[in-house]
Structure 1
């Protein structure tokens, strides 16, 4: 795939200048913020103000699961805005009731009752509070290679380096090792034994173990099949709940409804957002089992938001669930995901700077290495809160020059396209990544 001609650099347009002046860029040194105006989207593509079109190989921030033209969702949003744009959470709407029912149907086990919020981080905040209310305990065990959100509770249970500037966080958060075969000295299943010992040594004080079933923005880390079932046993043996953060891995991303379905596990609490509406509206959800729900019949559910169950957001969520079902997108993601995995493995075989490829369904990671014989990363954890660009950033930039947007986190390219992507579009995107990986190949160390 040839690199396209770049237009003469005329600098930012008026919208980009205005945004740069008046709007904070997220997770950034503001001097490095350089927003690009998007003017249209269609299918799995988006177009910028300068006329460049990109395949959206990461579903923006791994959230546009339905692509950019889910008409049923758009119509539901428009209809709800005109009919009932907002009511207080003490009231309800048909869409809110039906979405709660639909989530009880598609989530595993007896997860049955939902608290609606507006984002993944709020969904995790609710999960932390619910676990503490229900168990009467205070501590939350999470893992180092994790991201659970930006608000104070969720950033406190996050292991990602972005938590460091916010510390000290909320009391009672403890970090555990990860099932990361590529970059850890500990075998993935040994990390479960470590958590078992942690819970034993903490005594009867841990309310929950909180994990992403498949780690998302910290590298697309897929645990062994027996990991999550064993982790649930360990948590329950110590009187703790298992909370699964499905904000990124939910709604077909893995070729199943949820990441926990890949491993046949039924968590006590599940959080979700992103694919819940396909990013057509901001909506988060925290779903609990019958047993936990029953606890709050006689005990106060001391939590809420003005926009909990916002009519327009839940209308989008209900339409999204219907779209996943009616268009068989979960099954399709599994099928197309196999093809994507094969194409990524081919890239790994061609490029020596690819140290590892991993993932399931349409949730894939390409981890880079600077050494042909050793797994030496180009990007380090501290780069997440550092200045400047890394080689991994440059790989993504080269792919963009060839018409494909791919997100990258620390040392991993995150390949998580909309569930509607075709094999032909995958081929086009892989050609762009092929060009991008030439950058990291050229930057490798020469072995002594």
Structure 2
């Protein structure tokens, strides 16, 4: 397919005109805090800025400060902010029709575009929802209906949403004090090789974590597993990229136990990792894919993709059995279809691959340059920096230090997810080399200051 030039600005820079946060931001947040409930995104609260407008890879606040954005809406903002084609399409659709469960031309266009990029020809049936957790819950219901089984397997470090129905899948301590959880789930090891839970070396471990997972499933379930759900590359856990043979190996376990294999591609799908689907990197063919985030171009839309024989399972396939009030309405369908069209027309999957390789090359020297950078890794524009107190033990830098690192980045005009020792980087797929250079220059400036002051040692 012939591609068009990317319609987003290039060589975007930070420009600071006030203290951070500025007086207008502080005043607005003070007003908001009188009424908004706690629990908002940590980095948004820590930054303390109030957005006014954004374009491409920059955000400008109400005080006139412009920041380079490499958060990308936590993977939502694949097109970059305010892509002109996207803005035009959403404006046009909202004037025609926004909501309703009836079929619409935008929805027909959308499901056809998804089918065009099917992971396999048979994987072409789509149902649409509004949030990631909603789509995952529907996928679990469908797996139960199709298999007649009632247990699930998920992975250490895995994240599939925050609703009660999917909290039991979560492989972290986020669910502390949330019990009792939905029963019938086993959580098994994921291949996080930089910090191997078994203290083994990748080159000689023979994927011992997979064998442990096999044993744990046998010991922790009743042999009635409906589905195994996995992120092909884990996002919330720190943009973790497993060895290429890990996913096929755990897929093999799913086949052994007669379970469906669900790939949660909320974060990794639609080109984020340099391929349309992250499962392509390992050649894995799932039974079901959950989708969201940059799928909607900035509008809340998610979904599941599966095969004919699976989606016809009852009662999931009964009238109203898998529907959603807002799922697939004309407005979100137009937005998502336009996002997929732009990804194709502007060659954003290939741009993600090329810019990801470029970004990674720029970050790799940091490992030798700084004693607190343990590893950098990436697949497309799905990157991470491991921040450590000791390179030998790989002990993560303390949260208090990382909070200060995050604030220093903001004060230099860079919006990041560097509030954790696993510093995640997920910029817009429209980003260019010069904007990456400008972002890396700020990272280097902040790291130089850390190294000189020695604050990272405390």
Per the normalisation by structure 2, the TM-score is: 0.88
Partner of 1:102: 113
- Point out the more displaced range, 292-301 or 34-43: 292-301
2:80 equivalent to 1:70: no
Tell me the CA shift for residue 210 of structure 1: 0.8
- Point out the more displaced range, 195-204 or 259-268: 195-204
Q: 1:417 to 1:319 in 2, by over 3 A?
A: same
Q: Distance in 2 between matches of 1:107 and 1:436?
A: 42
From 409, 424, 431, the counterpart of 2:434: 424
Q: 1:356·1:366 contact (CA, 8 Å) conserved in 2?
A: yes
Q: 2:15·2:65 contact (CA, 8 Å) conserved in 1?
A: no
Q: 1:33 to 1:394 in 2, by over 3 A?
A: closer
Partner of 1:293: 311
**C-alpha RMSD over aligned residues:** 2.4
Tell me the CA shift for residue 155 of structure 1: 2.1
Q: 2:145·2:313 contact (CA, 8 Å) conserved in 1?
A: no
Q: Distance in 1 between matches of 2:164 and 2:448?
A: 40
Q: 1:42 to 1:12 in 2, by over 3 A?
A: closer
Q: Distance in 2 between matches of 1:230 and 1:291?
A: 25
Partner of 2:171: 159
Tell me the CA shift for residue 327 of structure 1: 0.4
2:124 equivalent to 1:112: yes
Per the normalisation by structure 1, the TM-score is: 0.90
Q: 1:27 to 1:18 in 2, by over 3 A?
A: closer
| SS in structure 2 of the partner of residue 295 of structure 1 | coil
Q: 1:59·1:416 contact (CA, 8 Å) conserved in 2?
A: yes
From 387, 410, 416, the counterpart of 1:406: 416
Q: Distance in 1 between matches of 2:346 and 2:256?
A: 41
Q: Distance in 1 between matches of 2:227 and 2:418?
A: 30
Q: Distance in 2 between matches of 1:101 and 1:63?
A: 22
| SS in structure 1 of the partner of residue 67 of structure 2 | strand
Tell me the CA shift for residue 19 of structure 1: 1.8
Tell me the CA shift for residue 4 of structure 1: 5.8
Partner of 1:40: 53
2:328 equivalent to 1:316: no
Between the two proteins, the alignment pairs up a number of residues equal to 432
From 77, 92, 107, the counterpart of 2:103: 92
User: Which runs of 5 or more residues in structure 2 are unaligned?
Assistant: 1-12
Partner of 1:83: 96
| SS in structure 2 of the partner of residue 60 of structure 1 | helix
User: Which runs of 5 or more residues in structure 1 are unaligned?
Assistant: 380-388
From 50, 70, 73, the counterpart of 1:60: 73
Tell me the CA shift for residue 12 of structure 1: 4.6
Q: 1:2 to 1:215 in 2, by over 3 A?
A: closer
Q: 2:353·2:380 contact (CA, 8 Å) conserved in 1?
A: yes
1:347-362 correspondence to structure 2 within 5 Å: 347-362=366-381
Q: Distance in 2 between matches of 1:57 and 1:423?
A: 13
From 251, 254, 258, the counterpart of 2:277: 258
Partner of 2:357: 338
